[in-house]
């Protein structure tokens, strides 16, 4: 499936959702209020402690917003397809994605694109821009380009995590509990991972590299003069696309072995 056809699918989905604008707006407002409450909790926490391991409110707001923004972009394409894949396989509905002269992966993602994440994008971009205006990062053209690339890489990494779990549906069928575990683990990157022990930092950096989504890009932007920040910041730009490619290969491997609802 080429980009033009992929975009056409998404356009059709957006049109169908806009047929029920009232329900869509209510859902969007609800999500915005929900994440606003999360920001409020962090803000209240910082009122008592001023900083968390040297990170103040605006810096943590930037960190948290980068996480939400990249999740919203990545999940728009992958959350609904991957969370629903096990049931799609069990019901035998996955067969239709294999009978078209299209890539089953992109066809499946395009057909279940979720426009509802626009609410996440709105609030995260708003707070991200506010925090950028409050934090003295010494913005340069390089840093602006870096932030743009970090958002892209982080979105790929967020999507990759969902695709990896979704791909396990071809083998184990029931994998819903793994998504719950993923979201619990993701709560760790709502704050600087430097507040955790060395072992957990290593896990979040190299084994389940969720810290590459927002923590290391933030360190690079706040102070790239430190060599470690610079090196890990660069790694963060590469690991997202690489992780997504590997997750795609894993998903396709499962799809190629798929033999129907009974096997």
Q: Which residues contact 42 (CB under 8 A, 6 or more apart)?
A: 57, 60, 61, 64, 190
Nearest-angstrom CA–CA distance, 238 and 145? 14
pLDDT digits (tens, 9 = 90+) for 12-28: 777 766 666 666 677 66
What phi, psi does 52 have (nearest 5°)? Answer: -120, 105
Structurally, the chain folds into a number of domains equal to 1
Q: Does the residue 263 lie in any domain?
A: no
Q: Does the residue 67 lie in any domain?
A: yes
Instruction: For the beta carbon of residue 257, count every other beta carbon within 10 angstroms.
Output: 10
Q: Does the residue 146 lie in any domain?
A: yes
Distance of CA 197 to CAs 42, 70, 129, 192, 194, Å?
21, 25, 31, 12, 8
Asked whether the beta carbons of 245 and 156 are under 8 A apart, the reply is: no
User: Which pTM was predicted?
Assistant: 0.91
Q: Does the residue 112 lie in any domain?
A: yes
Q: Does the residue 102 lie in any domain?
A: yes
DSSP state letter for 173 = S
Kindly give the confidence (pLDDT) of every residue in the chain, 263 residues in length, as a single tens digit, with 9 standing for 90 and above. Answer: 567 777 777 777 777 666 666 666 776 677 777 778 888 888 887 887 878 888 999 999 999 999 999 999 999 999 999 999 999 998 889 998 988 888 899 989 988 888 888 888 989 999 999 999 988 788 899 999 999 999 999 999 999 999 999 999 999 888 999 999 999 999 999 999 999 999 999 999 999 999 999 999 999 999 877 888 999 999 999 999 999 999 999 999 999 988 776 55
CB burial of residue 155 (10 Å; 0-12, 13-18, 19+): buried
Alpha-helical (H) ranges within the chain are 3-17, 21-49, 57-83, 85-91, 104-111, 118-134, 141-167, 169-172, 176-186, 198-202, 211-222, 227-257
Q: Does the residue 262 lie in any domain?
A: no
Domain range for 112 is 3-257
């Amino acid at each position: 499936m080429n980009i033009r056809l992929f975009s056409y699918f998404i356009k059709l989905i957006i049109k169908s959702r806009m047929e029920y604008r009232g329900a869509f707006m209510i859902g969007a407002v609800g999500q915005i209020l929900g994440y606003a409450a999360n920001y409020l909790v962090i803000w209240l926490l910082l009122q008592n402690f001023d900083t968390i391991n040297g990170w103040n409110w605006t810096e943590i707001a930037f960190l948290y917003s980068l996480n939400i923004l990249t999740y919203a972009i990545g999940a728009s394409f992958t959350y609904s397809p991957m969370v629903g894949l096990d049931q799609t396989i069990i019901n035998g509905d996955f067969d239709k994605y294999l009978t078209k002269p299209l890539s089953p992966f992109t066809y499946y993602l395009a057909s279940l694109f979720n426009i509802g994440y626009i609410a996440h994008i709105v609030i995260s971009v708003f707070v991200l821009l506010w925090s950028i205006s409050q934090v003295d990062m010494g913005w340069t053209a390089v840093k602006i380009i870096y932030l743009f690339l970090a958002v892209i890489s982080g979105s790929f990494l967020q999507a990759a995590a969902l695709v990896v779990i979704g791909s396990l549906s071809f083998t184990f069928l029931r994998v819903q509990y793994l998504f719950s575990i993923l979201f619990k683990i993701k709560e760790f990157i709502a704050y600087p991972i430097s507040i955790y022990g060395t072992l957990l930092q290593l896990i979040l950096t190299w084994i389940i590299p969720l810290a590459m989504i927002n923590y290391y890009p933030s360190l690079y932007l706040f102070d790239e003069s430190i060599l470690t920040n610079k090196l890990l910041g660069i790694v963060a730009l590469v690991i997202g696309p690489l992780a997504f490619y590997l997750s795609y290969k894993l998903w396709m491997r499962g799809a190629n072995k798929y033999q129907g609802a009974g096997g």
